[in-house]
Amino acid sequence: MSTSEEPIPESIANNLLGAARDGAELVGTSVDAEPDKIVEAIDRFLTNPKKRGWFSKIDNWDDRALPIGSLWGAAMVRAFGWQWASLIQHGHDDYKAIALVNDDRSLMVFPFHYCFGCLEDNVTPTVLLAFNMLEAGKIPQQGAHSYTNLMDGVQHIVPPA
């Protein structure tokens, strides 16, 4: 499978900051907080998402994954200089999605899909662990333009308490 990239659509780019602000409100932080504090709040929220009222339906994609993923992206851009991109994964069926990529395109994250998966499947998130590993330089070097999904390789040895 190969990956190619194009700029994100202008309509999406223009909405990322507003969505990140919504995400910050949702997880209980500010979009202007330090990136590590933002990621900590995201991880905490994904671990134990708040419920709405008894009869309110929550759309985990629109109501949670998009704003939280936008906030996570804003933190990654500020902390590590990552960029938003529209990635096309070529294979049997081409797949296109918005992602975060590092400068040499060795690493990527699909923040919306990752957050959605955590919320839908009650998966223990590794958002904070991945951030801390990046910050500490503990992610193994990947080849330039390999578009390795960071979140596929970050696992808790012992699940957090």
Domains of the chain and any CATH numbers? 2-153 (1.20.120)
- Which pLDDT score is estimated for 50? 83
Please determine, for residue 58, whether its predicted confidence score (pLDDT) is greater than 90: no
Mean model confidence pLDDT for the chain: 92
Tokens of 54: 């008894």
Spatial CA neighbour of 71 closest among 88, 46, 102, 104: 46
Please determine, for residue 6, whether its predicted confidence score (pLDDT) is greater than 90: yes
- What is the pLDDT averaged over residues 80-107? 93
Please determine, for residue 100, whether its predicted confidence score (pLDDT) is greater than 90: yes
* Ramachandran sector of residue 28 (left: φ over 0; alpha: ψ -120 to 50; beta: rest): left
DSSP E strands, 1-150: 2-6, 83-90, 95-101, 107-109, 148-149
- What is the pLDDT averaged over residues 111-117? 96
126 vs 83: CA distance, rounded Å: 20
pLDDT band at 154 (very low <50, low <70, confident <90, very high): confident
